[in-house]
Amino acid sequence: MSVAGAAPWWKTAVFYQIYPRSFALGDPAGRRARLATTGAAFDAARDGVGDLEGIRQKLDHLAWLGIDAIWISPFQPSPMADFGYDVADFCDVDPLFGTLADFDRLLGDAHARGLRVIMDWVPNHTSDRHPWFVDSRSSRTAEHRDWYIWRDGTGEATPPNNWARAFVEGPAWTFDEATRQWYLHLFLAEQPDLNWSNPAVVEAMSGVLRFWLDRGVDGFRIDVVLGLGKDPALPDVPAELASLPYCDQNDDPSTHAILRQLRKVVDGYDQQPVAVGEVFLPTTEQILAYYGDNDELHLAFNFPPMECGFDASCMRSQTEEATRLFAQRVAWPTWVLSNHDRPRHRTRYGGSERRARAAAVLLLGWRGTAFLYAGEELGLEDAEIPRHAQVDPGGRDGCRAPIPWQPAPGYGWGLEGGPAWLPWPPRADLVNAETLSEDPSSILHLYRRLLAARRASAALQLGDLELAAAPDSVVAFRREWAGDVRVVVVGFGGDECAVDLDPPPEGTWIVEVASGGRDGLASEGERYLGRIGPEEALILKPGP
Ligand code: TEU
């Protein structure tokens, strides 16, 4: 239980993103039995993936780690053109991952451990094999024709506008021979965009939210939420932007009214469900608009820090920007360094575990809701994916490698000799949950201590943030809430350096958490000596 009392759970929670294909496999026999009805033989690209039972079997690991909520990426029926983000039935479970009963069991067991569960909801588009789209493309007068975005264009040679799709080069339109019109897809042609200006779509998709909320889910991570409202004229973008994916440019005012409707659905449930939106716009200020007047999203991912390298100046300005902007609004920040769409931050920072350890202190010390990506607690780097093993059209396979749980080949997945759907991360025989859990100096235990320190401190959970004077290579800030105080010091430089801090009224600063481990300068539980080691980060608390 957090010390922060009456604050909504999602303000103090640390979320843990699970990409179900890559997390854990718990019931290979059950999967084989389900898939046998399809008559298909074992296929590594399809079957060497994780399942819902695998997640359920790892709940004790997550509770032990100390996270508060899991976000599960899509597990609904999907042809897997975009590995689940092309949904063919919003209200079921793909037999690859299990059944609705498996989901209900997972949810119940998570709740029994005090863990909340949110799930991905992909409202901007469906799979082209969703029955709605199958009907829509069958005829210009089909019942679901206007559930999607169809336009004439200029014959079959020129799309209706100059918008570009994501992931693969080309227009965000595909010409449909049967009905001689183009349909819009901001992503793959297998992901036709829904028409959210159609009340029938709003009602049907609100029903999807209710289906899962009725089952007890604690909220949703809303995919591509900025895509929902579109200018009905579908105007060209300026020529200089035409080659960039339009999905990252759409910022139409009509989305906000849609979000206010969806917020009413979510707020109608007792479990205090949260709606956290993926708003992939370039600035925090633009992202902040999607909170509305606290009547749209509860939270939105603040992506700009993911553009920083392991760099003090960039991280300091991100901290300043968020602190300034969120101080002006009734809105609560979020922080994330890795997810299933981007190279893992340890890889982005050059592969250094020391940097990944320091970044963990920053991520869990910042003011706002923190999101971890499965495997970052192990210090995983991206896997090397040889060309023949590459499957994602967006080139994101490296960060989606399966999580190694044990040191022996197969790494605890029980694939019975079959390969996993992607290559394993580097050094999986050494960098796996079991091996790291046996080493108190490991990054896994560092994450666990950081999560415990955060849970025990109202300052870290809810406190204001005030940047402190520090050398250029250091980001330091003070957190305070109701008399509880912490100082977070993050060193980005390659050398030991002095970081002078005003002493607290209690007399001195005690090192509560130190990222350095065996190589660190600071020792946990000891007095802070006014210096940090190379790329070392600390959480300090007042002491005698
Ligand atoms: O990602 C949205 C997305 O891919 C773009 O907004 C952005 O350009 C990209 O993240 C930059 O790296 C969501 C899901 O997270 C992603 O996995 C899906 O492929 C995509 O939507 C389509 O559903």
Report pLDDT digits (tens) over 200-226: 999 999 999 999 999 999 999 999 999
Q: Which residues of 228-253 are buried (b: 16+ CB within 10 A; e: fewer)?
A: bbbeeeeeebeeeeeeebbbbbbeee
Tens of pLDDT, residue by residue over 7-31, are 999 999 999 999 999 999 999 999 9
Nearest alpha carbon to residue 71 among 125, 13, 29: 13
- CB-ligand 1 contact for 392 (6 Å cutoff): no
Burial class of residue 382 (count of CB atoms within 10 Å of its CB; 0-12, 13-18, 19+): buried
Among residues 68, 278, 376, 536, the one annotated as catalytic is 278
Q: Candidates 86, 122, 247: which one to mutate for ligand 1, based on the most atoms within 8 Å of Cβ? A: 247
Task: Check pocket membership of 82 for ligand 1, CB cut-off 6 A.
Answer: yes
What distance in angstroms lies between residue 341's CA and the mean position of ligand 1's atoms? 6
The CATH architecture annotation of domain 13-125+199-449 reads Alpha-Beta Barrel (3.20)
Task: Identify whether 278 is a catalytic site residue.
Answer: yes
8-state DSSP, 502: P
In DSSP terms, 25 is beta-bridged to: none
**Measured in angstroms, how far is the CA atom of residue 248 from the centroid of ligand 1?**
9
The β-bridge relationship of strands 219-222 and 299-300 is unpaired
How would CATH label the architecture of 464-543? Answer: Sandwich (2.60)
pTM for the model:
0.97
Q: Which is nearest to 401 in space by CA: 416, 420, 387? A: 420
Q: Separation of 77 CA from ligand 1 center, angstroms?
A: 19
| Residue among 341, 373, 382 whose CB has most ligand 1 atoms within 8 A, to mutate | 341
Q: Residue 383 pLDDT > 50, yes or no?
A: yes
* Domain positions in the chain: 13-125+199-449, 131-184, 464-543
pLDDT grade, residue 478 (50/70/90)?
A: very high
- What are 431-457's pLDDT values in tens digits? 999 999 999 999 999 999 999 999 999
Q: Whose CA is nearest to atom 14 of ligand 1?
A: 223
The answer to whether the beta carbons of residues 174 and 254 sit under 8 Å apart is no
pLDDT at 418 over 80: no
Is the CB of 458 inside a 6 Å radius of any atom of ligand 1?
A: no
Query: pLDDT tens-digit profile of 175-186?
Result: 999 999 999 999
Angle in degrees, CA 360, 365, 368, rounded to 5: 110
For ligand 1, atom 8, the nearest C-alpha belongs to 248
pLDDT at residue number 417: 67
Other CB atoms within 10 A of residue 483 CB: 7
Computed over every residue of the chain, the mean pLDDT equals 96
CA of 340 from ligand 1 middle (Å) equals 9
Distance between CA atoms of 189 and 192, rounded to whole angstroms? 6
Let me know: does 509 contact 527? Beta carbons within 8 Å.
yes
pLDDT attached to residue 423: 96
Report the 3 state secondary structure along 112-159.
HCCCEEEEEECCCECCCCCHHHHHHCCCCCCCCHHHECEECCECCCEC
Question: Which CATH architecture does the domain made up of 131-184 adopt?
Answer: Alpha-Beta Complex (3.90)
> CB neighbours of 411 closer than 8 A, spacing ≥ 6?
402, 404, 405, 424, 428, 432
Give the whole-angstrom CA distance, residue 62 versus residue 448.
10
341 CB within 6 A, ligand 1: yes
What pLDDT is recorded for position 1? 45
Q: How far apart are CA 329 and CA 524, in angstroms?
A: 36
Rounded distance from Cα 224 to ligand 1 centre (Å): 7
CB 117 within 8 A of CB 72: yes
Rounded Cα gap, residues 523 and 98, in angstroms: 46
Q: Between the CA of residue 123 and those of 28, 52, 138, 201, 263, what are the distances in Å?
A: 30, 22, 22, 10, 14
In the reported structure, the alpha carbon of residue 208 is separated from the centroid of ligand 1 by a whole-number distance in angstroms of 21
Q: What is the per-residue pLDDT across 486-543, written as a single tens digit (0 to 9) for each?
A: 999 999 999 999 999 999 999 999 999 999 988 889 999 999 999 999 999 999 999 9
User: What is the percent of the chain with per-residue pLDDT over 70, rounded to a whole number?
Assistant: 99
Pocket test for ligand 1, best of 76, 90, 223, 397 (most atoms within 8 A of CB): 223
* Ligand 1 neighbourhood includes 68 CB (under 6 angstroms): no
Residue with tokens 């759970």: 9
Q: How far is it, in rounded angstroms, from Cα 314 to Cα 278?
A: 22
DSSP 8-state secondary structure symbol assigned to residue 219: E
| Helical segments of 328-438, H only | 345-348, 353-365, 433-437
Instruction: Residue 115: name the closest of 35, 22, 14, 8 by CA.
Output: 14
Average pLDDT for 256-260:
98
Beta carbon of 223 within 6 Å of any ligand 1 atom: yes
Closest residue CA from atom 18 of ligand 1: 85
Q: Which tokens go with 64?
A: 């032990």
Phi and psi (nearest 5°) for 19? -95, 100
Ligand 1, residue 340: give the atom nearest the CA. 17
Could you tell which of 280, 336, 337 is best to mutate to test the pocket of ligand 1, judged by most ligand atoms within 8 Å of the CB?
280
Q: Is the CB of 251 under 6 A from ligand 1?
A: no
Per-residue pLDDT for 156 more than 80? Answer: yes
- Between the alpha carbon of residue 449 and those of residues 115, 279, 303, 377, the distances in Å are 18, 31, 25, 11
Beta strands in 185-294 (DSSP E): 219-222, 274-277
